[in-house]
Amino acid sequence: MQCTLGVIESIRSRETLEQVFEDVVALIPLGWQYTKIVRVKIRVDEDEYISEPFEESPWKQSAELVVHGKACGSIDVYLLEE
């Protein structure tokens, strides 16, 4: 819930989509129970936004990112422990 409310607030208050993406990579780990083992990567066209510190793992969930009805990137959420 904290993550969802944070994303809504970011959309309302930020001026650019890039600022929203920066907020989202910071907020998603807070929305998970185990914040120390969650990392996020958002790819939009040629840009990439990652949570810090970032680390990939074989355990990830991915979703296509669609803006104005057009696929333009992806969101990957990595779990650092199985």
Mean pLDDT, to the nearest integer, of 52-75? 85
Q: How confident is the model at residue 14 (pLDDT cuts 50, 70, 90)?
A: confident
Average pLDDT, the chain: 81
Q: What is the pLDDT of residues 29-59, one digit of tens each?
A: 666 666 678 888 888 888 898 888 888 888 8
Per-residue confidence (pLDDT) for residue 60, from 0 to 100:
87
Per-residue confidence (pLDDT) for residue 63, from 0 to 100:
87
pLDDT above 60 (res 1): no
The answer to which of 14-18, 23-27, 74-78 has the lowest mean pLDDT is 23-27
Environment class of 28 (CB within 10 Å of its CB; exposed 0-12, middle 13-18, buried 19+):
buried
Beta strands in the chain (DSSP E): 38-44, 47-50, 59-67, 70-79
Q: pTM here?
A: 0.67
The answer to whether the peptide bond before residue 53 is cis (omega within 30 degrees of 0) is yes
